[in-house]
Structure 1
């Protein structure tokens, strides 16, 4: 796609630096005709599920937008063309098989027994310098795992192979633009950890695994999720991070003695409202006080050995209704 764009750009606008400003009629043409394609592209990118069909649609619309912009030879059309080109170049990285394949690779890292080489490199560290080293020196491992995959689309694997350095840049160079490819990949990472965390919680509730084994793994995942969200521009207000910190704190305080009833009570919506009204957590300094948090958890969980039928103690001395 990018080669086609560059060729078209050079063919149509060989001396673009000296182009005149668009006339009123040409501006109207840009708004009336070309903007229609951009509107459709924006809607598809934002609302449609990431599939190969979605990528096909965006490619078609990108070509139509390109043809529209290049048919109007003036400065504003060149600027619109260039922006459209950059956005369309990113589509291949965030729509369809490529992001699905990267997400699949992330999942396999959490199941490192799948391939031993995944244990040798810290691919999902939040230190971007270390992560870049992992993907650089672990390139052979990454491509080996992807090529052996039955889930990854072969065309996506081929694209990743041919554009590996660009993929590594997107994975390891942070951007403040929430629509950027890096932010998209980072969100995939956070969503994956969140899914794993909630799966472990469900196993805990339904008794599919031992409480102590599940709890320890949840603490690990919870810490990773907190750090992941703290680096994400998609995290709004930090409310979910605050609630998650309370859950992890409860697990750390009670170690292997907490009950699933305690965790359930902390996770339920009424407890989230309660946390917002908790006196000693209102002040940011007190909110970081482990003793304050410990007392709060004790009020909810008791001695950590509550059974399924035990009523949850209410918070009184640390709570206000105002």
Structure 2
């Protein structure tokens, strides 16, 4: 009976019950592994770029050798390994013609509406039959764009009727290859221009900006695109970026930005009135509502929100709409917990991270409205205006460090901007400001010959403070005195770092 049950079970689930059907061992693959590594080196070296003809010819030889190697094996997964090689090798023809690069440029041109003819055909769509019609009926338009945007080898390849037909097949026929084929790579490339447009909108966030509204309307398109592109890197980040855009345009997002950006006067808020000394009144807001943002300890931060409830609600009543005031009045405890207690799941889409990301935007808006004054005027370190803006910049940097909604690159960039901001209040910074405004004659300094000295280009700044650092030091000393160059090396390094001088 047991044997019969086992026999039926094997038939139902198509299990190979015969002995010996095991996966390939390392010993089985000892002849194939070196060839696989060699093949992988070709694939990784030229991924997304043009593969030279000599490398292509070599890769084809390796492809034949490794296919034969896997064909000779009798172990269970040898067939699957050979299929994987077939997929990898099928891409090499397109690498020689730089089709990855050409396709990316074509998609950008379509999204930007750079060429009038592209608006007549549905080149970018998730409907594969409609896409096929577009590439067949709009072939002349496609080739017109390719001629202007792509490399000669891509143009030659795509003008060949047979190769163009194969290219259209790859674009419009979804293979059952477990997301390993060229079709999926092209699908991911197709998403990049629209995702990039959303990222740019986040960088230029302005409320009620028509461009921002347009970006939000493109979010659904972007999300659909990355969902269908199975190998699009980190698709959840697209969802997060769209959520950030939507939050920023809501009344909640707008009010949150106001609350975290403005520093209200004492007279405007009842919770700050009374007979307390000024430092006690300031404590009410700065130390309970704004100050608690700086706390890394969750219990301290949560306590700050609880103690500062009356101040927070007074602020909302004054600066936000009535609906928001009623919402916060009824849900303040939940709001305080959401803001101050980091969720255990660590998912960046959680409201905790999104709302704290808006807190950073509040700091950024306030900083942008104040920093130009610092750059445009002669400021000293003990000036209260400088101290306020400098602290604000570091608060923004700390906020971004804590938040998962900002990448490492953006946070490092803010750190460099804070360094430059602080540099303006030094004798070094004031000297540079003086030279920029007065434009003294530097012709006597032959070491600066050939430099567009008063250009604001980063490359010129790198030239002055890295390549010709000693010469710049002499110029600053003559025009501003010894005090301006007392900490010259450190200040010059700060500028070089800011401009990413190599």
So what's the TM-score if we normalise by structure 2? 0.41
1:98–1:157: 8 Å Cα contact kept in structure 2? no
CA distance in 2, matches of 1:95, 1:276: 53
2:50–2:95: 8 Å Cα contact kept in structure 1? no
Any stretches of 5+ residues in structure 2 without a counterpart?
1-24, 262-295, 297-337, 368-391, 397-502
- Rg comparison, structure with higher value: 2
Cα 1:239–1:85, aligned 2, differ >3 Å: closer, same or farther? closer
Counterpart check, 1:99 vs 2:96: no
Aligned equivalent of 1:225, options 199, 219, 222 = 222
CA distance in 2, matches of 1:68, 1:92: 17
* Secondary structure of 2:250 counterpart: helix
Cα 1:66–1:119, aligned 2, differ >3 Å: closer, same or farther? same
Aligned equivalent of 1:253, options 219, 244, 250 = 250
* Cα offsets for 1:61-119 (capped at 9, x unmatched): 3214425766x8x854997878645532322235651111111110110221x321101
Aligned equivalent of 2:153, options 152, 155, 172 = 155
Which residue of structure 1 lines up, in the alignment, with residue 139 of structure 2?
A: 139
Which residue of structure 1 lines up, in the alignment, with residue 323 of structure 2?
A: none
CA RMSD of aligned residues (A): 4.8
CA distance in 2, matches of 1:260, 1:274: 11
Cα 1:60–1:237, aligned 2, differ >3 Å: closer, same or farther? closer
So what's the TM-score if we normalise by structure 1? 0.60
Which residue of structure 2 lines up, in the alignment, with residue 117 of structure 1?
A: 117
> How far has the Cα of 1:143 moved from its partner?
1.4
Counterpart check, 1:39 vs 2:30: no
2:56–2:92: 8 Å Cα contact kept in structure 1? yes
The equivalences for 1:204-219 within 5 A come to 204=204, 212-219=209-216
- The aligned length equals 255
> How far has the Cα of 1:228 moved from its partner?
1.3
> How far has the Cα of 1:233 moved from its partner?
1.5
Cα 1:101–1:87, aligned 2, differ >3 Å: closer, same or farther? same
CA distance in 1, matches of 2:152, 2:52: 17
Any stretches of 5+ residues in structure 1 without a counterpart?
1-26, 288-292, 313-322
The equivalences for 1:50-69 within 5 A come to 50-53=48-51, 56-66=54-64
Instruction: Determine which structure has greater relative contact order: mean sequence separation of CA pairs < 8 Å that are 6+ residues apart, divided by chain length.
Output: 1
CA distance in 2, matches of 1:182, 1:276: 43
* Cα offsets for 1:115-160 (capped at 9, x unmatched): 211010111122222222211211121112212x1x4122212222
Cα 1:219–1:61, aligned 2, differ >3 Å: closer, same or farther? same
CA distance in 2, matches of 1:275, 1:97: 50
CA distance in 2, matches of 1:131, 1:276: 47
CA distance in 2, matches of 1:123, 1:64: 35
> How far has the Cα of 1:214 moved from its partner?
3.1
Counterpart check, 1:185 vs 2:182: no
CA distance in 1, matches of 2:191, 2:240: 16
> How far has the Cα of 1:242 moved from its partner?
3.9
CA distance in 1, matches of 2:342, 2:109: 41
Cα 1:251–1:171, aligned 2, differ >3 Å: closer, same or farther? farther
2:87–2:180: 8 Å Cα contact kept in structure 1? no
* Cα offsets for 1:217-260 (capped at 9, x unmatched): 32244332212122122257864244234224225536xx9599
> How far has the Cα of 1:30 moved from its partner?
8.7
1:106–1:189: 8 Å Cα contact kept in structure 2? yes
1:55–1:96: 8 Å Cα contact kept in structure 2? no
